[in-house]
Structure 1
Amino acid sequence: MKQRKIPMRKDLLTNEMRPKKEMVRIVRLADETVAIDPTGKQSGRGAYVALDPAAVQKAKQKKLIDTAFGIKVAPEFYDELFAYVDHQKARQELFGNAQ
């Protein structure tokens, strides 16, 4: 049986390539807001973030998402992203990569 290709995406925060399933997509919507896109299918400008809470904390300090999307992102979004990433990482550790 032929091996399937694993889609890779670049992490916005660390600039390293990782499998898409190990990342979460954030998206800039048409109304200039930023949201977490757990389905990966929402329309808008997207970027991927690895499931690494420490990287999200550094991104909040350096305002990396603001720079990437060219808009002002509310500090609450970084807190929401941190909580989501922390939760998803804990799920992966408990249940493995099967989602």
Structure 2
Amino acid sequence: MLNMQNVSEPTIFNQKTRELLSQLAKDASFTTKKYAAGELELGNSIKLYGLAQCTWDLSTIKCLQCLDDAIGQLPSCCDGKEGGRVVGGSCNIRYEIYPFVSA
């Protein structure tokens, strides 16, 4: 699923998105909650918000693999878009330029 709006600088935005989601994937896979959310400052008062989540039955390694695979699918579904998500049976990731999760 994706946000239909395009970003103005897709190469940089995609890099920052991958950076945030990769960190959240590590954070989620190494916690007992199997969940992590966070944000990254992009400049000009714009923030990127992200989420990574696994089902509780996955080991740390399997969770990280699942999330990494989901992140790897972003170029084919959400390249240069302001938001997107990849939902699988055991994990999911999401990013947007607006807050979508409350702490």
Length-normalised TM-score, structure 2: 0.30
Q: Answer 1 or 2: which has greater strand percent.
A: 2
Question: Higher Cα Rg: structure 1 or 2?
Answer: 1
